[in-house]
């Protein structure tokens, strides 16, 4: 077990996480904790939130190690979760931060009867839809967090994405839970690549919903393998679990192109697919960022792009490809796979130009 070492005020080697506090404001449940002198909060009108220290510990473990500082939780934490901190921190060191200090927490024995409810972290993307369609017989809740991929200040876009999640949940007969948080505004989070820290941030959702959800599904990497920078991983996600809630990484067994082939015929996917990471304007997909281009090309390879109004039915696809400056080696392999799978015509020529710009001739 990890010994608890009291964090001294002003000790720059320590990141103190104060005991979380919960409160009700009308229909809204809020949970907040002071972390390194700044307040982090989560709130929802859809479900009661548990004031779980594990939520803050999971969300901030990678940022603390990025900063080269030790995360200290002042409130006692589930002994199952604290026992997993050692292998979890070791795995993170092995990936990115050799020599980074480990976290400290007070283990507490808890007798919990996990809920039978299974939630899926859902953004409306390829991986989320693929996981939902594969596990729909188990999933009864779709959870989405405003403040993760869409910023709190992007109110119109946040409202549009939240409405999309609620619409999909209603059509499929499951519950939707929308949370809001300022987590990514914290200096520790802002100093850490989101691609590394988002796995712990998603795990935080499980602990916050532990009173009503017994298992949270996190979708595996859409490239068909684990990118070395991606922070949601098959070997570590489950280590964020506690006696009250399990976390399951749905490891991909097929490539992203095959995932898209499997989901492209579903009308609910055609109406709602959202992959964009630029968050430009009010459209769910900008149609110009690399992730939009990658997805449009996959749909084109499957002869399905014209059925997706969210991408303007593919108009301007070649210009969009030519607008991508370059891609890294791992993502480039995806474009090479598209060519190998038979992508042809002007779109294929555009991909060849992109690969040439990326040094993959």
CA distance 258 to 280: 28
> What residues are paired with 17 via a beta bridge?
35, 73
Query: What integer pLDDT is reported at residue 7 of this predicted model?
Result: 39
Grouped pLDDT means (10 residues each) for the chain, 361 residues: 37 92 96 98 98 98 97 98 97 96 95 94 95 96 97 92 96 98 98 96 98 95 68 92 96 82 95 84 83 94 93 87 91 90 93 95 68
pLDDT digits (tens, 9 = 90+) for 71-124: 999 999 999 999 999 999 999 999 999 999 999 999 999 888 899 999 999 999
The pLDDT score that the predictor gives to residue 225 is: 58
Tokens of 312: 């303007």
Q: Are 126 and 277 in contact, with CB atoms under 8 Å apart?
A: no
What is the per-residue pLDDT for 75? 98
Strand duo 215-219 + 77-78: pairing: unpaired
Closest CA to 247 of 219, 215, 221: 215
pLDDT of 284: 83
**346 burial class (0-12, 13-18, 19+ CB within 10 angstroms)?**
exposed
């Amino acid at each position: 077990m990890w010994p608890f070492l009291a964090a001294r005020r002003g000790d720059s080697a320590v990141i103190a996480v104060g005991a979380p506090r919960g409160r009700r404001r009308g229909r809204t449940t809020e949970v907040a904790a002071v972390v390194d002198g700044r307040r982090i909060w989560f709130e929802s009108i859809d479900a009661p939130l548990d004031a779980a220290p594990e939520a803050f510990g999971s969300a901030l473990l990678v940022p603390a190690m990025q900063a080269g500082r030790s995360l200290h939780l002042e409130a006692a934490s589930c002994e199952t979760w604290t026992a997993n901190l050692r292998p979890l921190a070791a795995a993170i060191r092995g990936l990115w931060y050799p020599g980074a200090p480990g976290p400290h927490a007070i283990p507490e024995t808890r007798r919990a009867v996990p809920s039978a409810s299974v939630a899926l972290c859902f953004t409306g993307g390829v991986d989320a839809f693929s996981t939902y369609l594969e596990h729909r017989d188990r999933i009864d809740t779709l959870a989405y967090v405003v403040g993760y991929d869409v910023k709190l200040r992007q109110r119109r876009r946040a409202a549009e994405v939240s409405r999309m999640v609620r619409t999909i949940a209603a059509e499929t007969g499951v519950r939707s839970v929308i949370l809001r948080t300022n987590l990514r505004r914290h200096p520790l989070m802002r100093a850490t690549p989101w691609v590394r820290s988002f796995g712990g941030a998603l795990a935080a959702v499980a602990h916050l919903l532990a009173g009503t959800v017994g298992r949270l599904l996190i979708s595996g990497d859409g490239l068909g393998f684990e990118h070395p920078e991606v922070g949601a991983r098959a070997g570590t996600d489950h280590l964020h679990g506690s006696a009250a809630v399990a976390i399951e990484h749905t490891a991909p067994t097929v490539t992203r192109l095959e995932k898209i082939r499997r989901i492209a015929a579903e009308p609910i996917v055609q109406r709602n697919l959202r992959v964009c990471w630029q968050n430009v304007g009010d459209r769910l997909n900008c149609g110009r960022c690399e992730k939009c281009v990658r997805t449009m090309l996959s749909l084109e390879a499957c002869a399905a792009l014209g059925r997706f109004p969210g991408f303007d039915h593919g108009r301007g696809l070649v210009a969009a490809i030519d607008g991508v400056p370059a891609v890294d080696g791992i993502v480039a392999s995806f474009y090479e796979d598209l060519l190998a799978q038979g992508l042809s015509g002007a779109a294929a020529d555009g991909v060849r130009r992109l690969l040439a710009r990326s040094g993959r001739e």
